């Protein structure tokens, strides 16, 4: 399980950095990721508000993931919930790709990370917890 803790902690800076970028840059961050938007769209107050709001949520996700990764065994349920939320976000990106086409390569990579890597980590963590422990984790981490 040590390798998983390390892998998850290595991935934590991604939501922290990109969430902070969303908060600071607002809609301008979309241009940095390859979106072809007219200049007036980048100054739209609704779009900027939404980007900054979801950037704060994404940044907070990174903080919570870091805290949970410190002890994956004790925080097993929280970890699996976070992995499930991230998996759903990857599904949302995949649906967008099917509807509107492929985004820039960094977003394709993010989709793979969201829909495969952490989802698999959550499943592996659950299997390891069952195989190595006489108890089943109860609601919100305890034993």
Condensed to tens digits (0 to 9), the pLDDT of residues 92-138 reads 888 999 999 998 888 888 888 777 776 677 777 777 766 665 444 45
Q: Which residues contact 50 (CB under 8 A, 6 or more apart)?
A: none
pLDDT in tens, 34-80: 888 888 989 999 999 999 999 999 999 999 999 999 998 899 889 88
Residues 90, 67: Cα–Cα separation, whole Å: 22
Q: Is residue 27 classed exposed, middle or buried when 0-12, 13-18 and 19+ CB atoms within 10 A define those classes? A: buried
Q: Which residues contact 97 (CB under 8 A, 6 or more apart)?
A: 103, 108, 111
């Amino acid at each position: 399980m040590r390798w998983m803790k390390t892998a998850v902690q290595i991935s934590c800076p991604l939501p922290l950095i990109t969430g902070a970028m969303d908060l600071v840059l607002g809609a301008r961050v979309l241009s940095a990721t390859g979106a072809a938007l007219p200049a007036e769209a980048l100054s739209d107050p609704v779009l900027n508000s939404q980007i900054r709001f979801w950037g704060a949520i994404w940044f907070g996700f990174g903080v919570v993931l870091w805290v949970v990764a410190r002890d994956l065994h004790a925080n097993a349920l929280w970890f699996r919930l976070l992995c499930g939320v991230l998996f759903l976000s990857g599904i949302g990106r995949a649906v967008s790709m099917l509807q509107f086409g492929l985004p820039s390569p960094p977003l394709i990579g993010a989709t793979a990370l969201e829909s495969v890597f952490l989802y698999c980590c959550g499943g592996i963590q659950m299997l390891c917890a069952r195989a190595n422990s006489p108890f089943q984790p109860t609601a919100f981490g305890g034993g």
